[in-house]
Each structure stands twice: as structure tokens, then as C-alpha cells.
């Protein structure tokens, strides 16, 4: 069974004061902590062996999740004594995935329902690749204005999806050999990924927002909008 690592060691400074006494993954969205949404998503993808990479207010995460049994999964923890960054945190947890063919890594501040199977399949299809990254379409943070050739405003579109632009979704499938490319301290996005990309060893899987839900919880505005979106999705599902 595949292992999933949840990066949960950050400070969540932009969500203060909510994160003054808890790590960002315990901030509630639509009445549930982010990490609870993530565990349900991983379970739906057949992944029940979860490793939480904890740091800031680690005791709060351990208190909430415990062994994971109440959420139907097995949870273990790798604790960093000082901030290591995303790359350092994954390296610090290398014993948890060293025996795996491939494993999942997810940022601790996203809520999504993307299917991770294509990430595994894409990585398995290329023996030289070290990791596969989920990409989602960029959604404009602002409404846009359409103008015709004579300078007249034709229409307003509220925060459209910019279909030709793709962003890192914070969901990855990696081979254990990724450890050879990880810094002891530092973020994987600034160190490992650019180097692997330059070598042609980082693959992409695209997920369109008409088929999948994805949201990063970085600000209070994200928190409010995601809560409304998830409540609306729950009504549709019901």
C-alpha cells in the first residue's frame, strides 16, 4: 500500500491569528480541519498509510489525529526540531518511504479531489523520471473585462479559469531516489524541482477544474471562499 506524506510543519503566518495556537492543517474549512479533508481524499484514492511531517504546534496535530484510527487510517509522525522547509522535511522522513516504489507528497494547506492514479502511472511510464507533479489550471483572482476592437466593453467575467496557464497543485508522486536531490534545509519548489526540470526528470499531470476540485488555503479570503465552495459541493452530492 502506498504511503502519503503530508507537509504540516509550516507557520501559516498569513492566517494569523487563527494559526497562533494551531498549525495551518488544523484550520477549519466548512467546519472541518484541512487535514481531515485531506485524509478523506487520500482514503478515497486507496491510501490509508499516512505520515504527517510536523513541526509548528506538532502536539496539536498529534492530539487531533492520534493513531488515525478514528478517521479510518494509520497515521505516524516525523517531527522536525527546527524548520527544514519542504525539501528538508521530505528528506528528514526518508526512512518512511525508502522501501516504497513510489509515494505521495501533499502540501498541508490544500483541499482537492484529484485522482492520484495518473500520477503513479505517469511516473511508472518513465524510468528516468524522479517525480510527477499535479498541475491545475490557474483561476484568476480578479474579474476580467472583455473589450471589442473599437474599445467598447462587451462583458465582465468573474474570476474565470485561465485555461492555458497551469500551476503547481502541491500534490506529487515521487520515487525514493528523490532523496538524492533534496536539500537538508530548503524548499523543494526552489531547489529540487528546478534542477529536476532542467534535467528532464520531472513529469507533469494536468487536472482541469471542470472535472476536479482544488483550492489552496493561504489567506482569509481563500478560507471563506473554499468554505462556501465545499458547502455547495456537499449540497450537489446530496
Which contacts (CB < 8 Å, 24+ apart) does range 115-123 have? 115/45, 115/207, 115/212, 116/45, 116/47, 116/171, 116/173, 117/45, 118/205, 119/171, 119/172, 119/173, 119/205, 120/2, 120/173, 122/173, 122/203, 122/204, 122/205, 123/173, 123/174, 123/175, 123/203
Q: What confidence score (pLDDT) does residue 18 get?
A: 73
Q: What confidence score (pLDDT) does residue 1 get?
A: 64
Q: How confident is the model at residue 163 (pLDDT cuts 50, 70, 90)?
A: confident
The model's pTM is 0.88
Which residue segments constitute the domains of the chain, with CATH numbers given? 3-138+167-237 (3.90.550.10)
Report pLDDT digits (tens) over 30-68. 889 999 999 999 999 999 999 999 988 889 999 999 999
235 is catalytic: no
Check 70, 117, 157, 159 and give the catalytic one.
159
Amino acid at each position: 500500500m502506498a504511503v502519503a506524506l503530508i507537509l504540516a510543519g509550516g507557520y501559516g503566518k498569513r492566517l494569523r491569528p487563527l494559526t497562533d495556537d494551531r498549525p495551518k492543517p488544523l484550520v477549519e474549512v466548512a467546519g472541518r480541519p484541512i487535514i481531515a479533508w485531506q485524509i478523506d481524499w487520500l482514503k478515497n484514492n486507496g491510501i490509508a498509510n499516512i505520515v504527517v511531517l510536523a513541526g509548528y504546534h506538532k502536539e496539536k496535530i498529534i492530539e487531533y489525529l492520534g493513531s488515525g484510527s478514528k478517521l479510518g487510517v494509520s497515521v505516524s509522525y516525523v517531527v522536525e526540531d527546527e524548520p527544514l522547509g519542504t525539501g528538508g522535511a521530505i528528506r528528514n522522513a526518508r526512512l518512511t518511504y525508502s522501501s516504497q516504489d513510489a509515494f505521495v507528497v501533499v502540501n498541508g494547506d490544500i483541499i482537492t479531489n484529484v485522482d492520484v492514479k495518473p500520477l503513479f502511472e505517469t511516473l511508472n511510464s518513465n524510468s528516468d523520471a524522479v517525480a510527477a507533479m499535479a498541475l491545475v489550471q490557474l483561476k484568476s483572482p480578479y474579474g476580467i473585462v472583455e473589450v471589442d476592437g473599437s474599445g467598447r466593453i462587451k462583458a465582465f467575467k468573474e474570476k474565470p479559469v485561465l485555461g492555458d496557464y497551469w500551476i503547481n497543485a502541491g500534490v506529487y508522486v515521487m520515487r525514493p531516489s528523490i532523496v538524492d536531490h533534496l536539500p537538508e534545509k530548503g524548499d523543494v519548489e526552489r531547489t529540487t524541482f528546478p534542477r529536476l526540470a532542467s534535467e528532464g526528470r520531472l513529469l507533469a499531470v494536468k487536472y482541469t477544474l471542470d472535472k476536479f476540485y482544488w483550492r489552496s488555503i493561504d489567506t482569509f479570503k481563500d478560507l471563506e471562499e473554499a468554505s462556501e465552495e465545499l458547502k455547495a459541493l456537499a449540497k450537489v452530492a446530496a
